[in-house]
Amino acid sequence: MSTHARLRQYRDRLTDAVVPDELPPAPVGVTLVTLALWTVLLGGWLPMPSMPGPATAPGVFEAMGTSNGLAGALAYLLAWGTMMSAMMYPAMLPLVRRYTRESETDGWGAGAGVAALLLAYSSVWTAAGLVPLLVDALVGISGLTAAHGPLLVGGLGLFVAWYQRTDHKRSALRECCGSVSFDGDALSLEQGARKGIDHGVECVRATWPLFALMVVAGSMNPVVMLGLTLVVTAERMPPWEDEMATAVGVAAGVGGLAVLLLPGLLP
Protein backbone atom coordinates (compact mmCIF):
# COMPACT_ATOMS: atom_id res chain seq x y z
CA MET A 1 0.00 0.00 0.00
CA SER A 2 1.32 3.43 -0.92
CA THR A 3 2.04 6.13 1.66
CA HIS A 4 -0.82 8.23 0.31
CA ALA A 5 -3.25 5.32 0.67
CA ARG A 6 -2.09 4.66 4.24
CA LEU A 7 -2.58 8.32 5.18
CA ARG A 8 -6.07 8.25 3.67
CA GLN A 9 -6.87 5.08 5.62
CA TYR A 10 -5.69 6.63 8.90
CA ARG A 11 -7.71 9.76 8.13
CA ASP A 12 -10.86 7.72 7.52
CA ARG A 13 -10.37 5.75 10.75
CA LEU A 14 -9.90 8.97 12.73
CA THR A 15 -12.98 10.52 11.13
CA ASP A 16 -15.06 7.44 11.93
CA ALA A 17 -13.83 7.42 15.54
CA VAL A 18 -14.53 11.10 16.23
CA VAL A 19 -17.75 11.88 14.45
CA PRO A 20 -19.79 14.70 16.05
CA ASP A 21 -22.74 12.44 16.87
CA GLU A 22 -20.53 10.25 19.04
CA LEU A 23 -18.76 12.99 20.94
CA PRO A 24 -20.13 13.33 24.50
CA PRO A 25 -21.22 16.98 24.27
CA ALA A 26 -21.68 17.67 27.99
CA PRO A 27 -18.20 16.48 29.11
CA VAL A 28 -16.62 18.22 26.12
CA GLY A 29 -18.47 21.40 27.07
CA VAL A 30 -17.31 21.14 30.69
CA THR A 31 -13.72 20.68 29.51
CA LEU A 32 -13.93 23.76 27.30
CA VAL A 33 -15.44 25.83 30.11
CA THR A 34 -12.68 24.65 32.46
CA LEU A 35 -9.99 25.71 29.98
CA ALA A 36 -11.70 29.08 29.60
CA LEU A 37 -11.77 29.58 33.38
CA TRP A 38 -8.07 28.76 33.69
CA THR A 39 -7.33 31.18 30.85
CA VAL A 40 -9.25 33.94 32.63
CA LEU A 41 -7.45 33.22 35.91
CA LEU A 42 -3.90 32.92 34.63
CA GLY A 43 -4.39 35.74 32.13
CA GLY A 44 -5.36 38.16 34.89
CA TRP A 45 -8.64 39.07 33.19
CA LEU A 46 -10.71 39.34 36.37
CA PRO A 47 -11.35 42.79 37.91
CA MET A 48 -9.01 43.20 40.86
CA PRO A 49 -8.73 46.22 43.19
CA SER A 50 -5.28 47.21 44.41
CA MET A 51 -3.42 44.61 46.45
CA PRO A 52 -0.98 45.21 49.32
CA GLY A 53 1.57 42.85 47.74
CA PRO A 54 1.97 40.08 45.16
CA ALA A 55 -1.24 38.09 44.63
CA THR A 56 0.61 34.79 45.15
CA ALA A 57 1.77 35.71 48.68
CA PRO A 58 -0.18 34.24 51.63
CA GLY A 59 -3.09 36.41 52.71
CA VAL A 60 -2.62 39.12 50.08
CA PHE A 61 -5.57 37.96 47.97
CA GLU A 62 -7.79 37.94 51.07
CA ALA A 63 -6.50 41.36 52.16
CA MET A 64 -7.57 42.71 48.77
CA GLY A 65 -11.09 41.56 49.55
CA THR A 66 -11.26 43.02 53.05
CA SER A 67 -9.45 46.33 52.47
CA ASN A 68 -11.45 47.65 49.52
CA GLY A 69 -14.97 47.75 50.90
CA LEU A 70 -17.90 46.09 49.19
CA ALA A 71 -16.22 46.26 45.76
CA GLY A 72 -13.22 44.39 47.13
CA ALA A 73 -15.36 41.70 48.76
CA LEU A 74 -17.37 41.17 45.57
CA ALA A 75 -14.21 41.05 43.44
CA TYR A 76 -12.74 38.50 45.85
CA LEU A 77 -15.83 36.29 45.71
CA LEU A 78 -15.91 36.48 41.91
CA ALA A 79 -12.25 35.50 41.68
CA TRP A 80 -12.61 32.82 44.37
CA GLY A 81 -15.64 31.29 42.65
CA THR A 82 -13.85 31.33 39.29
CA MET A 83 -10.75 29.76 40.82
CA MET A 84 -12.66 27.03 42.64
CA SER A 85 -14.72 26.22 39.55
CA ALA A 86 -11.57 25.92 37.45
CA MET A 87 -10.03 23.61 40.04
CA MET A 88 -13.10 21.46 40.74
CA TYR A 89 -14.71 21.07 37.30
CA PRO A 90 -12.16 18.43 36.16
CA ALA A 91 -13.20 16.38 39.19
CA MET A 92 -16.85 16.78 38.11
CA LEU A 93 -16.37 15.15 34.70
CA PRO A 94 -17.17 11.57 35.86
CA LEU A 95 -20.34 12.86 37.50
CA VAL A 96 -21.38 14.80 34.39
CA ARG A 97 -20.84 11.72 32.23
CA ARG A 98 -22.99 9.59 34.54
CA TYR A 99 -25.76 12.16 34.67
CA THR A 100 -25.96 12.54 30.91
CA ARG A 101 -25.71 8.77 30.39
CA GLU A 102 -28.47 7.90 32.85
CA SER A 103 -30.80 10.75 31.93
CA GLU A 104 -33.20 10.33 29.03
CA THR A 105 -32.86 14.02 28.15
CA ASP A 106 -31.01 14.64 24.89
CA GLY A 107 -29.46 17.62 23.15
CA TRP A 108 -30.14 21.08 24.54
CA GLY A 109 -32.21 19.66 27.40
CA ALA A 110 -29.26 17.68 28.74
CA GLY A 111 -26.95 20.65 28.25
CA ALA A 112 -29.29 22.95 30.17
CA GLY A 113 -29.55 20.46 33.02
CA VAL A 114 -25.77 20.11 33.26
CA ALA A 115 -25.36 23.90 33.09
CA ALA A 116 -27.80 24.29 36.00
CA LEU A 117 -25.89 21.64 37.94
CA LEU A 118 -22.53 23.34 37.42
CA LEU A 119 -23.83 26.86 38.14
CA ALA A 120 -25.38 25.69 41.40
CA TYR A 121 -22.21 23.76 42.24
CA SER A 122 -20.10 26.88 41.61
CA SER A 123 -22.44 28.99 43.74
CA VAL A 124 -21.73 26.75 46.73
CA TRP A 125 -17.99 27.15 46.28
CA THR A 126 -18.38 30.91 45.78
CA ALA A 127 -20.29 31.14 49.05
CA ALA A 128 -17.51 29.15 50.74
CA GLY A 129 -15.21 32.08 49.91
CA LEU A 130 -16.95 34.05 52.66
CA VAL A 131 -15.04 31.96 55.22
CA PRO A 132 -11.48 33.10 54.34
CA LEU A 133 -12.83 36.65 53.94
CA LEU A 134 -14.24 36.54 57.47
CA VAL A 135 -11.07 35.01 58.89
CA ASP A 136 -8.97 37.72 57.25
CA ALA A 137 -11.27 40.44 58.58
CA LEU A 138 -10.88 39.03 62.10
CA VAL A 139 -7.20 38.10 62.33
CA GLY A 140 -5.41 39.24 59.14
CA ILE A 141 -4.12 36.16 57.31
CA SER A 142 -1.12 37.96 55.80
CA GLY A 143 0.22 39.13 59.16
CA LEU A 144 -0.53 35.80 60.79
CA THR A 145 1.37 33.83 58.14
CA ALA A 146 4.25 36.29 58.25
CA ALA A 147 4.61 35.72 62.00
CA HIS A 148 3.75 32.02 62.22
CA GLY A 149 3.95 30.67 58.65
CA PRO A 150 5.75 27.36 59.36
CA LEU A 151 3.49 26.61 62.33
CA LEU A 152 0.33 27.29 60.29
CA VAL A 153 1.41 25.40 57.18
CA GLY A 154 2.92 22.50 59.12
CA GLY A 155 0.00 22.27 61.53
CA LEU A 156 -2.55 22.32 58.72
CA GLY A 157 -0.54 19.69 56.86
CA LEU A 158 -0.81 17.38 59.87
CA PHE A 159 -4.50 18.19 60.21
CA VAL A 160 -5.06 17.26 56.56
CA ALA A 161 -3.21 13.99 57.16
CA TRP A 162 -5.59 13.16 60.01
CA TYR A 163 -8.74 14.37 58.24
CA GLN A 164 -8.05 12.31 55.11
CA ARG A 165 -8.39 9.15 57.20
CA THR A 166 -11.63 10.06 58.98
CA ASP A 167 -15.04 8.54 58.25
CA HIS A 168 -16.32 12.10 57.81
CA LYS A 169 -13.96 12.62 54.89
CA ARG A 170 -14.68 9.23 53.33
CA SER A 171 -18.45 9.60 53.50
CA ALA A 172 -18.29 13.10 52.00
CA LEU A 173 -15.97 11.89 49.25
CA ARG A 174 -18.38 9.09 48.35
CA GLU A 175 -21.26 11.54 48.10
CA CYS A 176 -19.30 14.26 46.31
CA CYS A 177 -19.40 13.46 42.59
CA GLY A 178 -20.62 9.99 43.44
CA SER A 179 -24.16 8.68 43.41
CA VAL A 180 -26.59 9.43 40.59
CA SER A 181 -30.35 9.44 41.03
CA PHE A 182 -33.29 11.15 39.39
CA ASP A 183 -36.78 11.96 40.57
CA GLY A 184 -37.92 11.24 37.01
CA ASP A 185 -36.36 10.13 33.76
CA ALA A 186 -34.79 13.46 32.79
CA LEU A 187 -32.29 15.88 34.24
CA SER A 188 -34.42 19.03 34.49
CA LEU A 189 -33.17 22.50 35.36
CA GLU A 190 -34.60 22.16 38.85
CA GLN A 191 -33.04 18.75 39.41
CA GLY A 192 -29.72 19.92 38.01
CA ALA A 193 -29.62 22.90 40.36
CA ARG A 194 -30.61 20.80 43.35
CA LYS A 195 -28.03 18.12 42.55
CA GLY A 196 -25.39 20.80 42.03
CA ILE A 197 -26.03 22.26 45.48
CA ASP A 198 -26.04 18.82 47.12
CA HIS A 199 -22.78 17.77 45.47
CA GLY A 200 -21.22 21.18 46.14
CA VAL A 201 -21.92 20.91 49.86
CA GLU A 202 -20.43 17.40 49.98
CA CYS A 203 -17.36 18.47 47.99
CA VAL A 204 -16.76 21.39 50.36
CA ARG A 205 -17.11 18.99 53.28
CA ALA A 206 -14.66 16.57 51.67
CA THR A 207 -11.94 19.05 50.73
CA TRP A 208 -12.12 22.14 52.96
CA PRO A 209 -8.90 21.32 54.90
CA LEU A 210 -6.96 21.16 51.61
CA PHE A 211 -8.22 24.59 50.61
CA ALA A 212 -7.55 26.00 54.07
CA LEU A 213 -3.97 24.90 53.49
CA MET A 214 -4.08 26.62 50.10
CA VAL A 215 -5.13 29.91 51.73
CA VAL A 216 -2.19 29.97 54.15
CA ALA A 217 0.19 28.93 51.35
CA GLY A 218 -1.11 31.60 48.95
CA SER A 219 -4.57 31.39 47.36
CA MET A 220 -3.54 32.69 43.95
CA ASN A 221 -0.33 30.68 43.69
CA PRO A 222 -0.61 28.86 40.31
CA VAL A 223 1.60 25.96 41.45
CA VAL A 224 -0.59 25.35 44.51
CA MET A 225 -3.76 25.69 42.43
CA LEU A 226 -2.63 23.21 39.79
CA GLY A 227 -1.37 20.78 42.41
CA LEU A 228 -4.67 20.79 44.28
CA THR A 229 -6.57 20.39 41.01
CA LEU A 230 -4.68 17.16 40.39
CA VAL A 231 -5.28 16.01 43.97
CA VAL A 232 -9.04 16.58 44.08
CA THR A 233 -9.45 15.05 40.62
CA ALA A 234 -7.41 11.96 41.50
CA GLU A 235 -9.44 11.46 44.70
CA ARG A 236 -12.60 11.10 42.64
CA MET A 237 -11.33 8.48 40.20
CA PRO A 238 -12.94 5.10 40.95
CA PRO A 239 -12.05 2.60 42.16
CA TRP A 240 -9.10 4.20 43.96
CA GLU A 241 -10.83 6.95 45.97
CA ASP A 242 -9.82 5.61 49.38
CA GLU A 243 -6.27 4.78 48.33
CA MET A 244 -5.79 8.23 46.79
CA ALA A 245 -7.23 9.94 49.87
CA THR A 246 -4.81 7.98 52.03
CA ALA A 247 -1.86 8.83 49.78
CA VAL A 248 -2.76 12.53 49.88
CA GLY A 249 -2.98 12.35 53.66
CA VAL A 250 0.43 10.69 53.94
CA ALA A 251 1.99 13.29 51.64
CA ALA A 252 0.39 16.14 53.60
CA GLY A 253 1.56 14.67 56.89
CA VAL A 254 5.14 14.20 55.71
CA GLY A 255 5.19 17.71 54.27
CA GLY A 256 3.66 19.25 57.37
CA LEU A 257 6.12 17.51 59.68
CA ALA A 258 9.04 18.55 57.46
CA VAL A 259 7.94 22.21 57.59
CA LEU A 260 7.58 22.10 61.37
CA LEU A 261 11.04 20.57 61.81
CA LEU A 262 12.72 22.62 59.07
CA PRO A 263 10.95 26.01 58.85
CA GLY A 264 13.48 27.17 56.28
CA LEU A 265 11.75 24.97 53.70
CA LEU A 266 9.11 27.68 53.27
CA PRO A 267 10.06 30.57 50.95
Question: Is residue 2 classed exposed, middle or buried when 0-12, 13-18 and 19+ CB atoms within 10 A define those classes?
Answer: exposed
Nearest partner of 159 among 238, 259, 241, judged by Cα: 259
* Separation in Å, CA 245 to CA 55, 80, 215: 29, 24, 20
Given this model, what pLDDT does residue 20 score?
Answer: 41
Residue 154 located in a structural domain? yes
Residue 71 located in a structural domain? yes
Residue 136 located in a structural domain? yes
Q: What is the pLDDT of residues 101-119, one digit of tens each?
A: 766 555 566 678 888 999 9
Contacts of 9 (CB under 8 A, 6+ apart): 1
Given this model, what pLDDT does residue 81 score?
Answer: 98
Residue 1 located in a structural domain? no
Under the banding of pLDDT at 50, 70 and 90, the label for residue 4 is low
> Prior bond to 239 cis, omega within 30?
yes
Residue 45 located in a structural domain? no
Evaluate if residue 183 carries a pLDDT over 80: no
Given this model, what pLDDT does residue 10 score?
Answer: 41
* Predicted TM-score of the model (pTM): 0.86
Evaluate if residue 177 carries a pLDDT over 70: no
CA 126 to chain CA centroid, nearest Å: 11
Under the banding of pLDDT at 50, 70 and 90, the label for residue 5 is low
Under the banding of pLDDT at 50, 70 and 90, the label for residue 242 is confident
Evaluate if residue 236 carries a pLDDT over 90: no
Least confident interval from 132-136, 178-182, 194-198: 178-182
Residue 16 located in a structural domain? no
Residue 12 located in a structural domain? no
Given this model, what pLDDT does residue 14 score?
Answer: 38
For helices 167-175 and 189-218, angle between their N-to-C axes, nearest 10 degrees: 140
Least confident interval from 17-31, 48-62, 164-178: 17-31
Evaluate if residue 11 carries a pLDDT over 50: no
State the total domains in the chain: 1
Higher pLDDT, residue 92 or 138: 138
Given this model, what pLDDT does residue 227 score?
Answer: 94
Q: What is the pLDDT of residues 140-169, one digit of tens each?
A: 999 999 999 999 999 999 999 999 999 999
Residue 46 located in a structural domain? no
Given this model, what pLDDT does residue 143 score?
Answer: 95
> Domain of 225?
25-40+51-265
